[in-house]
Structure 1
Amino acid sequence: MWSVISDCDEVYNYWEPLHLFLYGTGFQTWEYSPIYAIRSYLYILLHYGPAIMLKKIFLNKSSVFITMRCMLGLFNVCAEIKMYEALCSRFGNGIARTYIVLTSLSSGMFIASCAFLPSSFSMSANLFAIAAYINEEWFLAILFTGLSALISWPFAAVLGLPIVLEMLIVQPRKLAFTFCNYALICGSAIVTALIVVDSYYFGKIVLAPLNIVLYNVFSSHGPNLYGVEDVKFYIKNLLLNWNIVIVLIPFAMPFAGLAYVWTRSSPHLVHSVAREMSLIYWKRFLPILFIFLSVILWFAIFFLQPHKEERFLFPVYPLLALLAAVTIDALPRVGTYLLGGRSRCFWQTCVIGYFLIFSVLSISRSAALYRNFFSPMEVYKMLNEHMINYSNRNELYSAKDNITVIHICVGKEWYRFPSSFFLPSGIKNSKNQILVAELNFIKSEFTGLLPKPYMKGSLPEITRIIPTGMNELNREEISRYIDIRQCDFLIDLETLDTTILEPNYAKQTSIWRSVVKKKFLLSSYSHPIDRSFYIPFVTGHNNVFGDYHLLERIRVVHDNITL
């Protein structure tokens, strides 16, 4: 509910198609053009079921949006509970409790768990898969891996590595046939559903996961058109979202192995328990090794890609917490062996200190994200309230008008639009005239390809239409823009930098008046530490904020004619 939308891809590629299915309007990206068809409508339909029920409950579209985000978070909670139970049964309560504390407080999970993104769905689905793998529930493990890889994100198949290694390498005689059988059943069912649904909506035979792999791996341009970053981008994001957890992950495997050997033999441990150091005993801990390898492989793949996005790391977030939990659980035993039995209290204190530091940093990070960047959603929420008052100004409309389109415009702030769920629709004024809000783009310094509204009509006809002005080269289409003189409202961030295409509209007081404004952090003018973490009574001194405005056009009325 309080998590910001950090990626415009979430809005335009997922919330907008869902809005189309629910309310008949929404923005279309080039990925949903039948020419390219690299996004699956089946993923949207998975969310359409609960969303249509919420539509019947709530009259306000924004309430549907917020409740859907809560349901996405609830899906992740169910996956976390399943993982917790699996860890308790196989590795003990200590690791399980540590894991659940880390994932509950992590600012990374705060961002990822309620995002309407394939990478977030893959994160939760992979949790179900790994939990089933730990419990040796092979059908569920393969099913959820298939759902993660085929319906949401093909590259998430990499995280099925532990299941493949266990069934085909460790226990081939016992499980190889089972693996092939379940993989064939689950894969066939999911692929059939994908082809049926997407072919219906695109109007031709389509397998979207194949198209996205072909585009990302084999096309001459691929995702690099949307920006490239160096390795520091991911390192910074991991440190911000997981802070000191990252330091412990490399020690998970050596600490786990050494801890259990030393627990068996160390004379310093009061509660030492003898264990059979047999092959069967070590197989019990193989999942930790395989999970560790899958995380390393994931990092190797995505760290080497020029195009980097924070969301690409979402699927491994819970696995990072698991590996850190293993290290924390083993730390007192390893430390006690190295420094002697009397140091046990010291190491237990270190663990408590670790939890305190992690908790403070994580909560501080999450609070900073909300405090610094939540204002766009607040402004769009207040747009609904303001439109009710706006609709009752009788001087704005002639009596013969029945339906009036209100043009809400964005320029440089197009990528912070929280979705059409925040655009008012069907508001009636005192003259029983209907207002319909419509988002439009005005020219800014951005020179890439913007989305465009779906054609009006019924499903599936409108999703089968090949839209004009679409391309996979991120090439700007001038047809997306309207003249700013057509705008009734303008949503804009007041910054210290202005250009001819991005002036300070709030200062144009003869044209615009600010009816809503909220503080928004100007990152480039703020201290890196202060903008990343919220520290009460301290943070504000080195941060610079701009005003996020809802601007209303000032209209002049002469002889009952609105100008």
Structure 2
Amino acid sequence: MQSVQLDDSLHGGQFVPLFYSIRSLSHWNPKALIVFLLYVVVRVIAAFYLSISDCDETFNYWEPLHFILYGFGFQTWEYSPEFRLRSYAYLLIYGSFGKLFSLFSSKENKVGQFFFIRILVGILDAFSETFLYRNILRKFGKSTALLFFFFSLISPGLFISTTSILPSSFSLILFNFALSYWIYGNWLSAVVFISIASLWGWPFVAVLGIPLALCILYVKGLGYFCKLTIFLAIFNLLPLFIVDSYFYGRPSVAPLQLILYNVFPKKGKGSELFGVEPWYYYILNLFLNFNIILLLPLVFMPIFFLVFPLSNFKISFIWNNKQHWMESLWYCSPLYLWSLIFLFQPHKEERFFFPVYSMICLSGAICLLSLRRLLQRLEQWLNNKKILQSFLTRKAKLLIAERFTVCFLFLFICLSLGRIIMLVRGYQAPLIVYREFSRRELQKDLHSSREYNLCIGKEWYRFMSHFFIPKSQIRVRWIPCGFDGILPQYFEESGIPKGTRTIPRSMNDENRAVPEQYFYSLNACDYFIDLETFSDPPNQLTKGLHPFLSEPFLDNCVTPRSVRVFYIPFISSRAVYGRYVLYTLNSFHNMSELMQPRDGGTHY
């Protein structure tokens, strides 16, 4: 197979200090096993140290998964048989991971089961990224593959997304395989993986397969494409239809329901009810997750692929030939197609860009090497014209491309590690508190004849799921906090399928709060979780009580953005921390102090 090689050769015989040289990196040719193990190490670290960053993952996936495994858990309106937006067939994939863990561990070790599922997801992602790395190596050459590996290994975006059980993370893993097979030339396998990602995971991922579909239409014809589409639709939708119809008790095709809800919403309904963001939301968010890499596909890639070819600029100045230029553009096109669609959707979530995170790293690697070669050409031109020669000694030559690349990579490392460290230091408190709560309460002998209530107010969206609630006697209760949206309620605890077929009372698709979702008997609360910050008024409900558990949590309202975005030694010591607190209580006597909700979105 012909490779799209980017010339990144260095000028022979030139002196360059070791610190400024990347020859040692360019000569490194790691085996696939080494690449895989390095991915696994980073993904396992993420699995153990990151809190759940999206409450949608908690309530729409961890909670119904807990219900499937243990018979109780929270149900969102999306799982009501009336709406049927989520697929139980998808949950059974992770349910099998949980059952596998139960074969060699006790039933009480639910926290261990939670981390085991996360680790397995991370390992699957590591395998998919290694597979993609190998095919990038075959197609684009060693330098592009190494940069892709380097970017994807330590980028905060992939650190966050690759151990999640969200459908967008599932689609990220499968699209890695699809992109790998597409690059390799195995179009059939690529289409199979895209179809699974779209129908089992997130239906909108089918958009990423449009460039590949055009290739198949052009080469194989419309007849072949239609037959393949029909076969894959039946192959995927039949088991989905059977499983979901069994759980819901009525004919159900969850991907179709989700498309109808989001693309053709009824008047006064739809995803916009859950919040809208400005068009630049994703640009800010992606900069946090990929920092300076984002500049490459966002700014330089359009210049290389669109401006230069339309001008008198010769493509061979950077690329070996026009075919290589077209192939690279075509492989990167799903990223731009995805961006054009989602940038202008009113409702925006960080997770919506998860499926293209690996593509950002690939396009960044291609563009950085293109930019490097352009700088090498500039360097050659300056040397040939003897420009600035009087300012240079014989040993100190320009080496513009060399030093630019080193500075770029060094800055990327600093920003990426700084962001990851800040995410762990600043926002890990819920994970620590719930994990320690589970460990301590598991050792207690609770009376089976009564329920124990864990009450949560404004911190509802940071609930870590019932996998951290050690015993079924402990129930999570939402107390009034000023939040006016709908909150999840417990499934009907009558087993499967009766529990999943029961239409819950007081559920709606209008994001409208209902009285039944709140727990008003505060004197019956046995535990209470809250975030106490300098920006919040004192909470009279916990006045005079001593915390059972307490962990520092970054106060976004008081800490300057320049300090809280990236961890910077010495400077980050100016960050202000509140307390994420768990109280053990005997009684509450007033509800006069209602806690105000806080934005549960991405931290900037």
Q: Offset at 1:224?
A: 0.6
Partner amino acid for 1:43? Y
Q: Does 1:548 align with 2:580?
A: yes
1:406 corresponds to: 452
1:130 corresponds to: 179
Bigger RCO of structures 1 and 2 (CA < 8 A, at least 6 apart): 2
Q: Offset at 1:369?
A: 0.5
More deviation in 9-18 or 331-340? 331-340
Aligned partners of 2:524 and 2:587 also within 8 Å: no
Q: Equivalent residue of 2:452, what SS?
A: strand
Q: Equivalent residue of 2:578, what SS?
A: strand
Q: How many residues align?
A: 517
Q: Offset at 1:286?
A: 3.8
Picking from 302, 309, 312, the partner of 2:352 is 312
Question: C-alpha separation between the residues in 2 aligned to 1:353 and 1:463?
Answer: 55
Question: C-alpha separation between the residues in 1 aligned to 2:163 and 2:422?
Answer: 18
Q: Does 1:40 align with 2:77?
A: no
1:471 corresponds to: 508
TM-score, length-scaled by structure 1: 0.87
Change (3 A) 1:29 1:402: closer
Aligned partners of 1:492 and 1:548 also within 8 Å: yes
1:518 corresponds to: 551
Partner amino acid for 1:369? L
TM-score, length-scaled by structure 2: 0.81
Aligned partners of 1:256 and 1:330 also within 8 Å: no
- Residue deviations 1:317-367 (CA, integer Å, cap 9, x gap): 111111110011222221122331657732022111111110110011011
- Residue deviations 1:21-69 (CA, integer Å, cap 9, x gap): 1111110000000000011111101111121111232331011101111
Partner amino acid for 1:448? G
Partner amino acid for 1:335? L
Picking from 250, 261, 271, the partner of 1:223 is 271
Change (3 A) 1:505 1:352: farther
For structure 1, the residue ranges without an aligned partner over 5 or more in a row are: 267-272, 393-400, 427-435, 557-563
Q: Offset at 1:264?
A: 5.8
Aligned partners of 2:176 and 2:358 also within 8 Å: yes
For structure 2, the residue ranges without an aligned partner over 5 or more in a row are: 1-46, 384-396, 589-604
Q: Offset at 1:93?
A: 1.2
2:560 corresponds to: 527
- Residue deviations 1:147-166 (CA, integer Å, cap 9, x gap): 11111111111111221122
> Where do residues 91-490 of structure 1 align in structure 2 (5 Å cutoff)?
91-169=140-218, 171=219, 174=220, 176-219=222-265, 220=267, 221-249=269-297, 250-252=299-301, 255=304, 277=321, 282=323, 284-340=324-380, 342=383, 345-388=399-442, 390-391=444-445, 402-425=448-471, 436-482=473-519, 483-490=521-528
Q: Equivalent residue of 2:84, what SS?
A: coil
More deviation in 125-134 or 250-259? 250-259
Change (3 A) 1:555 1:31: closer
Partner amino acid for 1:379? V
Question: C-alpha separation between the residues in 2 aligned to 1:417 and 1:137?
Answer: 43
Question: C-alpha separation between the residues in 1 aligned to 2:536 and 2:540?
Answer: 6
Change (3 A) 1:86 1:448: same
Aligned partners of 1:513 and 1:554 also within 8 Å: no
Q: Offset at 1:385?
A: 2.8
Question: C-alpha separation between the residues in 2 aligned to 1:300 and 1:256?
Answer: 17
1:19 corresponds to: 66
Question: C-alpha separation between the residues in 2 aligned to 1:178 and 1:113?
Answer: 35
Partner amino acid for 2:561? P
Q: Offset at 1:552?
A: 0.5
Aligned partners of 2:433 and 2:551 also within 8 Å: yes
Aligned partners of 2:442 and 2:470 also within 8 Å: no
Q: Offset at 1:412?
A: 0.5
Partner amino acid for 1:310? E
2:531 corresponds to: 493
Question: C-alpha separation between the residues in 1 aligned to 2:562 and 2:325?
Answer: 39
Change (3 A) 1:340 1:519: same
> What is the identity percentage for the equivalent residue pairs of Structure 1 and Structure 2?
34
